[in-house]
Structure 1
Amino acid sequence: MAWETLTRWERALERWQRALLEKVHPHQPVELIDALHHECDRHAVVCSESRVVVPNAYEVELDTEVHEELVRQGCGDIGEVLTDNLARHGRQKGYEWAGPLTVRITPTPLAFGDPYRVHSSPMPHVRADAFPAES
């Protein structure tokens, strides 16, 4: 009985993983990560030769169905995985975050079958003049 339950659980997990990959993007799930990297790069502000500041607050809007499936499956660490990936991207590029880096996942009914949208901004409480001027 326990072996049969484990097998059903494993099959369910495999189905969930395939469904997640197909829902996030039918052909290349890597595109969500690429979209985060692009959003970061697109809003980079060159402050000096050695200082490039990028937004620190990112929001990934997942289609409501995709988000509900993730919640049902108990997959609450996607924001953390995306945050870690974006942090590595920033280190590779030599970026400085405008504050603590966060990636928030929110459910949103998206039009035209888009699986996700990505937005970024500096955290609202971080002001541009809060950064010390370089000499």
Structure 2
Amino acid sequence: MKGGGHAAGGGLSRWERALERWQDRLFSRGRHREHAELLDALHYECDDHAVVCSESRVVVPNAYEVELDAGVHEELVRRGRGDVGESLTDDLFRYGERKGYEWAGPLTVRVVPSACPPGEPYRVTGRPMPHVRADAFPEGD
């Protein structure tokens, strides 16, 4: 095939498919590192707001909000990764179990787009909110 265009039938050439796979792997690797850093930030937010009530009872916030750079959030949605909040909630729940934490109410992590400053790909906040659902977060808080 001359000119590096599309193969017959309008499909991608073998080179274009290989380039696309390489970009997907690169994107995935970069996101994996950012995901690990995000989990660390979520764990830190949980630990940082732990309240020791007794030797056997440590209460932590149950409502977390993860603000992602608007471009990153849009990319996750575009790639069909709208379940990120659920995945983060599951991870945080397991983390809390390992630490022996008690949640201040039902645990939820909500992921929203944000206009984070350059160099700050995400922001994590947590607070105790009894009987909270992901869609119950106050707007503009």
> Which is richer in helix?
1
Match of 1:129 in 2: none
Indicate if the aligned counterparts of 2:106 and 2:131 stay in contact, CA closer than 8 A.
no
Which is further off, 71-80 or 91-100?
Answer: 71-80
CA distance in 2, matches of 1:45, 1:56: 12
Structure whose CA Rg is larger: 2
Deviations 1:83-110 (Å, cap 9, x if unpaired)? 1110011000000000000000000011
| 2:85 is aligned with 1:73 | no
Report the count of equivalent residues: 121
Give distance in 2, aligned partners of 1:114 and 1:47.
Answer: 34
Superposed, which structure 2 residues align to 1:1-135 within 5 Å?
Answer: 15-16=23-24, 18-19=26-27, 21-22=29-30, 24=31, 29-123=35-129
For the 8 Å contact 1:21–1:29, the answer to whether it is kept is no
8 Å CA contact 1:35, 1:118 repeated in 2: yes
2 CA distance for matches of 1:43 and 1:100?
A: 16
Identity %: 60
Change (3 A) 1:28 1:69: closer
SS, match of residue 129 in structure 2: coil
Rounded to whole Å, the distance in 1 between the matches of 2:102 and 2:75 is 34
Shift of 1:114: 1.1
CA shift digits 1:105-125 (9 cap, x unpaired): 000011122111100001166
Please give the alpha-carbon distance, in whole angstroms, between the structure 1 residues aligned to 2:101 and 2:88. Answer: 17
Q: Is the 8 A contact 1:59 1:104 kept in 2?
A: yes
CA distance in 1, matches of 2:17, 2:53: 52
CA RMSD of aligned residues (A): 2.8
Match of 1:130 in 2: none
Equivalent-residue separation in structure 2 for 1:124 and 1:10 (angstroms):
50
